[in-house]
Amino acid sequence: MTTCDRSFVVADPRFFAKAKGPFSAAVLADIAKAKVVPRKDGGIEPAGGYVGIAPIQAASMRDVSFLDNRRYLSLLDQTQAGLVIVESDFIKRVPSHCVALVTSDPYLAWSRVARLFYPSSAVIPGVHATASVASTALIDPSAQIEAFAVIGDNVEVGAGCFIGAHTIIGAGVRLGQACRIGSHVSMSYALVGNRVTVSHGSRIGQDGFGFALGPVSFETMPHLGRVILEDDVEIGANSTIDRGSVNDTIIGAGSRIDNLVQIGHNVQMGRCCIVVSQAGISGSTVLEDYVTVAAQAGLVGHIRIGNKVRVGAQCGVMSDVEAGQDVIGSPAMPVREFFRNVAVLRKLSKKWSKLVRGSSDLI
């Protein structure tokens, strides 16, 4: 294999630990919360069970795969997978040599099965010899701290935490249990819950963008708040979350922040919010629970976004949005209104084109 070989490999062993297992169909059905539908011959698994996972077009008889999109039904017809996770509407298309796991949410079931075969890498307790750990820091003996990490005064690192190479954890920061902090992260003025993941290169707790206009030039506002990352938050690579100025910046439990996202000072996000890549949320904006902000959207400061609002890609949100709405466009507006406006503009454009052509015919 050359360095640029494009041949397909599931979970290349150079990067991923060998798959756990094999597992029986009964174990997979239990973890996936799904119903087993046997092969045409009545069998439910190959001898020795299932040994791995693979995409539907590349799976073999000892592999598990899934399908949740009607557009790819032709791949289901041709698959060589031994077991396929599908919803009930697709069961008639499952080949006779396949076992099916039937569930209302194949993607969720696939996630659970994939994590069964490939669980997160284990934390190896210990502090690398090149790490710098302040004498006043409290590091749980079960935590792992990699090379050249810097742990400041009075930091608390909980049980089962992982802190990557070259990461800086500033004075007073507290990490709960089972947190995973990637390499080259800087974290300061932050209180972090349990099972929080912060990916490589992210910046947590720096000054926000706040200043006053003085008689001669700008004068920077002090930022005296913190960043609160509640339980089960995940933050992607190279994202930035500013600490509060006088209030705290809060990321609610279970929320997911993609790579390259900017969260301004005093922002308060509720539970299970999603913010997608290159989106920016300005200071003091409030997102209630289950809000989704799509890629490259921008939200101005000091507004409130209601429960379960969905903000479309490249949307510019300049005022409050009521709960349950889907908004797109810039300035943001409800989806139906946006497309109604587009339809009217198209009609006007066609009429104008006809008028222009008609006037030119008269010349």
Question: What's the average model confidence in pLDDT over 323-350?
Answer: 91
H helices present in 3-91, as ranges: 25-32, 73-78
Are 147 and 165 within 8 A, CB to CB?
yes
Query: How is residue 165 written in tokens?
Result: 């190479």
> Which amino acid belongs to residue 41?
D
C-alpha 196, offset from chain centre: 12
Give the Cα separation of 196 and 188 in Å (integer): 15
Point out the least confidently predicted range of 18-22, 163-167, 342-346.
342-346
Q: What pLDDT band is residue 55 in, cutting at 50, 70 and 90?
A: very high
Q: What pLDDT band is residue 147 in, cutting at 50, 70 and 90?
A: very high
Point out the least confidently predicted range of 141-145, 279-283, 343-347.
343-347
Query: How is residue 192 written in tokens?
Result: 């972090």
Name every residue whose Cβ is closer than 8 Å to that of residue 318 and which is 6 or more positions away in sequence. 300, 303, 331, 332
Q: Is the dihedral of CA 124, 129, 130, 135 positive or negative?
A: positive
Asked whether residue 201 carries a pLDDT value surpassing 80, the answer given is yes
Dihedrals phi, psi of 111, to nearest 5 degrees: -60, -45
Active site residues: 265
Question: What's the average model confidence in pLDDT over 71-98?
Answer: 96
pLDDT tens per residue, range 314-333 = 999 999 999 999 999 999 99
Q: What pLDDT band is residue 8 in, cutting at 50, 70 and 90?
A: confident
Asked whether residue 49 carries a pLDDT value surpassing 60, the answer given is yes
Q: What is the pLDDT of residue 2?
A: 58
pLDDT tens per residue, range 203-252 = 999 999 999 999 999 999 999 999 999 999 999 999 999 999 999 999 99
C-alpha 326, offset from chain centre: 20
Give the Cα separation of 53 and 62 in Å (integer): 9
Give the Cα separation of 67 and 349 in Å (integer): 43
User: Which domains are assigned to the chain?
Assistant: 25-117 (3.40.1390.10), 185-358 (2.160.10.10)
SS3 assignment, position 72: helix
**Mean pLDDT of the chain, nearest integer:** 94
Q: What is the pLDDT of residue 362?
A: 47
The residue whose two tokens read 């499952």 is 94
Query: How is residue 358 written in tokens?
Result: 């008609």
Are 259 and 279 within 8 A, CB to CB?
no
Q: What pLDDT band is residue 9 in, cutting at 50, 70 and 90?
A: confident
Instruction: Give pTM, 2 decimals.
Output: 0.91
Give the Cα separation of 290 and 308 in Å (integer): 5
CA distances from 254 to 163, 185, 213, 235, 290 (A): 20, 20, 38, 11, 10
Question: What's the average model confidence in pLDDT over 101-120?
Answer: 96
Q: What is the pLDDT of residue 3?
A: 65
Q: What pLDDT band is residue 13 in, cutting at 50, 70 and 90?
A: confident
SS3 assignment, position 8: coil
Question: What's the average model confidence in pLDDT over 159-170?
Answer: 98
Q: Please, which contacts does 145-152 make with residues 24 or more away whose CB atoms are closer than 8 Å?
A: 146/183
Nearest alpha carbon to residue 244 among 183, 291, 319, 191 = 191
Other beta carbons within 10 Å of 264:
22
Asked whether residue 296 carries a pLDDT value surpassing 50, the answer given is yes
Q: What is the pLDDT of residue 359?
A: 62
Are 323 and 308 within 8 A, CB to CB?
yes
